[in-house]
Structure 1
């Protein structure tokens, strides 16, 4: 695996740079774990959101995961072709599509959730349990996620 040259010392100490590097490493670990289950990152994000929200209108699903509608169509086409979600007219508004997860999709999202948790365990392995708890609390506070 090729190594990247070190960043200038003035950059290496910036929290934003360090968070970006940690995020890139985390994304790579999770992407590799998901690939072993046959999913790409966005496919997992959408499938997990459908599992949480479904049945859900396609437009609402896109807004909930911050995915462009054109990209959402492609991801949903892939998930539907693999038998992981169903897309049908929304009974509340037939002009919209409602997305539901299939039993096969539920099984896959469960495996992928476990794989992502293992990957994140690898990412946080240098930290003790207490440090992980504090770190996640701090990340939650600075990211604005509640």
Structure 2
């Protein structure tokens, strides 16, 4: 029997899980975890002053961010460096190989997303879906306490 639910939470959860399942082989093929990719994307914008800063921005547990940064550092995609003000504090930066793998992964993910969005039919429908999701995310941010 086909799923009949149409409430936003259920649909968003199905979308998140389904998209994650489609993206996981892309990540693995690029030598990354889903969180590893998210960390690289964040670091590509600007270095993190600390792992704690990264954890907070990505809404990850402190112990999880340490493992993710460990994996990225072992692969040569990120590095911990001494803080400029406080040497005890370790900043996290993306490396040149990290930028390359992030760009390659992003291109592969865009192909997966385009394949999925093409199921909506017209390009206008795909743009409307993305715009609607963006508006919902923005609305949630304004609701947060």
Assess same fold via TM > 0.5.
yes
Please, which runs of 5 or more residues in structure 2 have no aligned partner?
A: none
Question: Post-superposition shift, 1:63?
Answer: 1.2
Q: Within 5 Å, which residues of 2 pair with 1:3-42?
A: 6-7=2-3, 9=4, 12-42=5-35
The number of residue pairs the alignment matches comes to 139
- Of the three residues 100, 124, 142, the one matched with 2:136 is 142
Name the CA distance, whole Å, in 1 between partners of 2:97 and 2:111: 21
Structure with bigger RCO (C-alpha 8 Å, 6+ apart): 1
Question: Post-superposition shift, 1:135?
Answer: 0.9
Q: TM-score, normalised by structure 1?
A: 0.86
Question: Post-superposition shift, 1:117?
Answer: 1.1
Name the CA distance, whole Å, in 2 between partners of 1:104 and 1:39: 12
* Alignment partner of 1:131 is 2:125: yes
* Alignment partner of 1:59 is 2:36: no
Name the CA distance, whole Å, in 2 between partners of 1:13 and 1:55: 39
Q: Within 5 Å, which residues of 2 pair with 1:95-114?
A: 95-114=88-107
Q: TM-score, normalised by structure 2?
A: 0.86
Question: Post-superposition shift, 1:6?
Answer: 4.3
Q: Which has the higher strand share?
A: 1
Please, which runs of 5 or more residues in structure 1 have no aligned partner?
A: none
Contact 2:48–2:54 (8 Å) recurs in 1: no
